[in-house]
A and B are shown apart, each in its own frame.
Chain A
Amino acid sequence: MLRVTGVAAGYGRGVVLHDVTFSVAQGEVLGVLGRNGMGKTTLIRVLAGLLRARQGSVHVGDVDVTREAAYARAGHGVAVVPQGRGVFAELTVVENLRLGRMAAGRRARPGRLDEVFDHFPRLAERRKQRAGTMSGGEQQMLAIGRALMAEPQLLLLDEPSDGIMPVLVQQIARDIRAVNVDEGLTTVVVEQNVPMVASMAGRCLILESGRIVAEGTPDALAQGGDIERHLGV
């Protein structure tokens, strides 16, 4: 579903990602772990189309999207829940969700809004509320709900636990897992929170200084000492 081959990327003269290669199968949840400043968000920006890869290629399905802008990638079914959630604070819950539906274009299905409200009943209760007035956890639900409205083929989540109360982190993880199971949605989750990723992902990569230094199931990475060695936990 997602194929990343030899990608290098960075800002200005600095190179952040070096020769990153991996793939994600249809319906798989891939976790990308790494400490701060290791290139996780840069990777998401490259996959989303906000940052051009200097080398290498990105394929979504059979389509080479390497040179495509972010808005064009949305058309290929790439949906993003960015770090900090990226909800439009001045827009209402429903307006935020409408933006997701607009991104779906021809893929949009009637009844999708009700499905999203089924996943996140709290959003239905607050449909006319301005997004900026909601709690961090509710905003995260909205950001995920908005991404689902886009009928994505590939969901990219950047630090979904960031700024969320610890008690809600596992709830968000369960929500993401439920969406993956219900819809067979291919998902890439970039996180520092190892237990959260371990509860969602079937396979993980560890990024260090912009390079993939380990890959495997969460259990294998933990037992092999990679998580302790590279993440210090």
Chain B
Amino acid sequence: MDRVLSVLLDVVTSTLVLALVSLGLAVVFGLVRVINMGHGAMLALGAYVAWTCVNRGIPFPVAVLVATVAVGIVGLVFEVLVIRHFYEQPFETLLISWGFYLVVTELIKLVWGTDLRSLPNPLPGTLSVGGAGIGNYVAVISLISAALLTATALVLYRTDLGVKVRAMIQNRDMALMLGVNAPRMYRSVFAVGAALAGLAGALIAPMFSIEPDMGTLWLVRSFFAVIVGGLGAIVGGTLVGSGLIGGATVVFALFSKQVFAQTVVFALAVIALRFRPVGILGRR
């Protein structure tokens, strides 16, 4: 029974950690239809900014805040200088954001080097849940992820801003004719997506090695989570996709090595997309 509960907790926390990492990508993709391949680099940048802050004596929570704002500003500048000229050109934005990924990753190598770095766990120890153990820090970032998903859902479904955003997704021209300032909204969404990537990078930094290419695997996993969950289904899709990619990896890893489990999950995701290209909760 403890074993089952332990696996269940692993599934839930893996889902929520992946959802945390994927949310920024889902927000940008869902709202402005840009597949931001730079998301992985923004994640790594957030981790390095947090690492630098902590090593200069800044408390970890403040370091996370600094990383969030800093990467948000980087995203804003990228949008203003480059991306805004290419909206509604999906291939161009895909290539440009991949170029951004490469440039930022190389800049990270120039500034911080290629050595592996790590951050100490800010909340060591474990929490006992019904006899199963869960790391304190993993529990906290799972809660932060759940809170962010809830907040996003509340903004989308309970506020005027959310109505405007959903209108914009459905019919951009009509939303414009109703006074929705699309350029400003796109800019804000891109900056928020980048900030979420920075936040995620900073929060997962104590759990994994920090290295310049750390964003690659997370980019692939979050990309799969977003498209399997459903195009445009920002909150539900992210959660369902993260559950299928993150949670299923945990389950498959019970019977095989982690790498093999991940390969199986990606293969299953590709098959799922073959039969439902818009994702599980996506609408055409």
Contacts and interface: CB of A to CB of B under 8 A. Distances in A.
Interface stretch (B56-64, B172-180, B255-263, B270-278): B172-180
A32 interface: no
B166 interface: yes
Contacts of B170: 88-91
A132 B233 CA distance: 18
Contact of B174 (A69, A75, A82): A82
A185 B256 CA distance: 71
A2 interface: no
Contacts of B171: 86, 88
Interface stretch (A92-100, A113-121, A176-184, A196-204): A92-100
Contacts of B164: 99, 102
B141 interface: no
A211 B177 CA distance: 25
A80 B177 contact: yes
Interface residues of B, number: 18
Given A98-B163, A102-B160, A88 B179 contact: no
A99 B182 CA distance: 14
A71 B181 contact: yes
A74 interface: yes
Contacts, number: 68
A12 to B, nearest CB: 16
* Chain A: interface size category: 20 to 34
Contacts of A80: 177
A82 B175 CA distance: 12
B193 to A, nearest CB: 22
A88 B174 contact: yes
A48 interface: yes
Contacts of A103: 178-179
A69 B186 CA distance: 15
A70 B177 contact: yes
B174 A105 contact: no
Interface string A60-97: 00000000011101110011101000101111000100
A172 to B, nearest CB: 19
Contacts of B173: 50, 70, 82, 86
A7 interface: no
B207 to A, nearest CB: 37
Nearest to A73: B177
A131 to B, nearest CB: 10
B179 A50 contact: no
A99 B178 contact: yes
Contact of A98 (B160, B174, B176, B182): B160
A86 B179 contact: no
A82 B177 contact: yes
Contacts of A89: 170
A71 B179 contact: yes
A158 to B, nearest CB: 11
B12 interface: no
B40 to A, nearest CB: 31
Nearest to B160: A102
Interface of A: 48-50, 69-71, 73-75, 78-80, 82, 86, 88-91, 95, 98-100, 102-103, 105, 146, 150
15 contacts: A48-B177, A49-B176, A70-B176, A74-B179, A80-B177, A86-B173, A86-B177, A88-B166, A90-B170, A91-B163, A95-B163, A99-B180, A102-B164, A102-B178, A150-B179
Closest 8 CB pairs of A and B: A74-B179, A103-B179, A86-B174, A70-B176, A103-B178, A80-B177, A88-B170, A71-B181
Interface of B: 160, 163-164, 166-167, 170-171, 173-182, 283
Given A50-B177, A86-B174, 12 more contacts: A49-B177, A50-B173, A70-B173, A71-B176, A88-B174, A89-B170, A90-B170, A91-B170, A98-B160, A99-B164, A99-B167, A102-B178
